[in-house]
């Protein structure tokens, strides 16, 4: 069976994150790598672009309380959107913002360090909303979203 390179597999949010997902901090725009020469010539910083959607990328850190191993409890997710996504309102006195990702997909990616090799997962979504907000057919107001999170594959 051949799976096209770069294929993204759909997965239900509750299957991937059975105890929910929490945003830690704020989303930040991602930029392309700048060489010393680029900086010396004061070239403008260019945003990184998602290959599938053509939208600029934004990155946020999330906490996954359902992760079995400590190294998997925090993950980085990249969002691809026309404008920077605005997370739901935080709950007063709570350091994390509970969120639900809509249009969730995963894509395997091989990682290696020395002779050790493993599979990580690139996690993407089409939107982000508050936990108690009703689902919409098009995702969040922020537009299309895409993310990247490294999680070792289950054996």
- Closest of 106, 104, 105, 98 to residue 129, by C-alpha: 98
Give domain status of residue 154, yes or no.
Answer: no
Give domain status of residue 148, yes or no.
Answer: no
pTM here?
Answer: 0.74
Give domain status of residue 59, yes or no.
Answer: yes
pLDDT at 152: 42
pLDDT at 66: 93
| Domain extent for 116 | 9-130
Give domain status of residue 152, yes or no.
Answer: no
Ranges of residues in the chain with a pLDDT under 70 are 1, 135-155
Q: How many domains does the chain have?
A: 1
pLDDT at 114: 93
Q: Using a pLDDT cut of 70, give the percent of the chain over it.
A: 85
**Gap between the Cα atoms of 13 and 18, Å rounded:** 8
pLDDT at 149: 44
Question: How does pLDDT run across 120-148, given as a tens digit for each residue?
Answer: 888 887 778 898 877 665 444 444 444 44
Give domain status of residue 145, yes or no.
Answer: no
Give domain status of residue 115, yes or no.
Answer: yes
pLDDT at 136: 61
Question: Encoding tokens for residue 155?
Answer: 């054996």
Buried (b) or exposed (e) across 74-96, using 16+ Cβ within 10 A?
ebebbbbbeeebebbeeeeeeeb
**Gap between the Cα atoms of 47 and 29, Å rounded:** 7
| Cα distances (angstroms) measured from residue 85 to each of 10, 56, 80 | 21, 11, 9
Instruction: Determine phi and psi for 119, rounding to 5 degrees.
Output: -105, 130
């Amino acid at each position: 069976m051949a799976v096209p390179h770069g294929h993204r597999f759909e997965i239900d949010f509750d299957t991937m994150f059975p105890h929910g997902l929490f945003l830690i901090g704020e989303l930040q725009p991602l930029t392309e790598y700048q060489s010393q020469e680029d900086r010396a010539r004061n070239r403008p910083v260019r945003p990184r672009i998602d290959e599938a959607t053509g939208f600029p990328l934004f990155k946020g850190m999330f906490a996954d309380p359902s992760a079995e191993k400590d190294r998997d409890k925090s993950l980085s997710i990249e969002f691809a959107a026309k404008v920077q996504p605005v997370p739901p309102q935080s709950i007063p006195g709570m350091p994390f913002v509970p969120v639900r990702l809509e249009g969730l997909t995963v894509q395997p990616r091989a990682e290696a360090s020395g002779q050790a090799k493993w599979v990580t997962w690139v996690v993407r979504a089409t939107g982000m909303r508050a936990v108690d907000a009703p689902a919409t057919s098009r995702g969040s107001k922020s537009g299309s979203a895409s993310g990247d999170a490294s999680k070792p594959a289950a054996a």
